Structure 1
């Protein structure tokens, strides 16, 4: 049996080890890491999949980012991903279950940007199963290389402006 629990219930070292296994240690050089640099995951939207023995099987992390539009507006958003699954458990529906759980949590999320989700991923998969599209992302810039067709978003507040996507560092309360 697999349980989906808040990411905070899992040791951060276990999450990092899983990410290394799923994506390799070079993962930290990817553009997505630059987009979310210096931020902490949005707790309401970040989950882990664990088995009965408590072994970590997968994670989804979501990050506070913002689109700094060229007209001066700054739109808070949430970057979805990475969605990581232990290599030996891939293709078993864990990643999909994590995405579904995250999307179920969106209506109750009080963090800024929860109504404007974005990710870098396979458009055929994320559009078909989760409604992410490139419709409003065509004029966005990122702090590193990316394939424009893989820059996807969903939500009522996704901006349709030209601008630079980057981290939105949380302020202490």
Structure 2
């Protein structure tokens, strides 16, 4: 298994992988609305290759929490973490997460991370919790217990999650 920067993988291979992992209707999900109009962060997005076959990928996105009091809090949205269905018990997702978290730590960018995912998995292995996300709102449906965050700079205040675009960051 080899991890490479996601930018080295053709976009059609990435899209095919995401369709295989999440279905072709994935673009209607809340996560897509949260990060709408942004590009994934190339320094923290990776692909897992097994004999040159794309078997998994992770993307990270710049988002922000627009607080009800008027200011904003930057966050890094982790996900999707996608693995081919027939390889989902091979530890590929955990490897992708661990490598992304190590890169984020090395770059000093692990202070405010968030994702939408299984709280037992992401909590147990990576320290994500819903402890500070209870007052967050999102532009679409989400099970509140699946809205997770980690890092010392995660704000617990009420606000709306949305994209962090350079001009409005």
- TM-score normalised per structure 1: 0.93
Root-mean-square deviation (CA, aligned residues, Å) is 1.1
Partner of 1:11: 10
Instruction: Give the structure 2 partner of residue 46 of structure 1.
Output: 45
Q: Which of 120, 130, 134 does residue 138 from structure 1 map onto?
A: 134
Range moving further from structure 2, 100-109 or 129-138? 100-109
State whether residues 129 and 150 of structure 2, in contact with CA within 8 Å, keep that contact through their aligned partners in structure 1.
yes
Cα deviation for residue 142 of structure 1 reads 0.1
Q: Secondary structure at the match of 1:103?
A: helix
> Which of 124, 139, 151 in structure 1 is aligned with 2:147?
151
Q: Which runs of 5+ in 1 are unaligned?
A: none
CA distance in 2, matches of 1:126, 1:107: 17
Alignment partner of 2:99 out of 98, 101, 109: 101
Structure 2 unaligned spans of 5+? none
Correspondence for 2:166: 170
Report the counterpart of residue 60 of structure 2 in structure 1: 62
The answer to whether the 8 Å contact 2:44/2:104 transfers is yes
Contact 2:114 2:147 in 1 (8 A): yes
Post-superposition shift, 1:89?
Answer: 1.3
User: What is the TM-score when the length of structure 2 is the normalising length?
Assistant: 0.95
Q: Distance in 1 between matches of 2:107 and 2:86?
A: 32
Q: Alpha-carbon deviation of 1:114?
A: 4.2
- Paired with 1:136 and 1:14, the residues of 2 have a C-alpha distance of 36
CA distance in 2 between counterparts of 1:114 and 1:66 reads: 14
